[in-house]
Structure 1
């Protein structure tokens, strides 16, 4: 399946999205609301420094559903652990967030996944 132009435009318009992950222990679907970010023309999921269940779920089961404006998109998470890539992505995202605080704390302690569209 490919992402339609309409779905891509919806993803561009909305920072707030919902995702359904598969629970790492339960194996059950878990749906939450979160923010998606753009950097380098690609889409990312992250959050302020700290642990997240959705991140642990995606680490265990990278396939998930991205819900945006009536579109349910089957996508994959690419967990980003490389320090240079993390620094680059957070360097693009964090300065635009007036509430974000310290860039280094995000690089060191925030979850980061790229949303891989089909």
Structure 2
């Protein structure tokens, strides 16, 4: 079993980021500096929002877990071999097949086959 932390772009934001960056370059080339600066800033903001950190567990298949904190609740997404396995809110403790997710004060702890493998970013 191998556990890794990965950082990547969410695929649903990628086309918008590319369009904003290309539009800002076109605006700069046409002499519209204010519009170009606005589009470039908007592109960087969307780019920073699209970066997603995830925990990857390799053991006969790939489990990719990512979490977002919404107030006191964590929204967790679990993918197995690229397809969605489970998505939902973790208030306290949730079991998803071989995985168990435990919400603690410092984050969500991931337990795989009764062994603690890490915390979700």
TM surpasses 0.5: no
Structure that is richer in strand per residue = 2
Larger-Rg structure: 2
**Structure with higher RCO (Cα < 8 A, 6+ apart):** 1
Instruction: Identify the structure with the greater helix proportion.
Output: 1
Q: TM-score, normalised by structure 2?
A: 0.31
TM-score using structure 1 length: 0.32
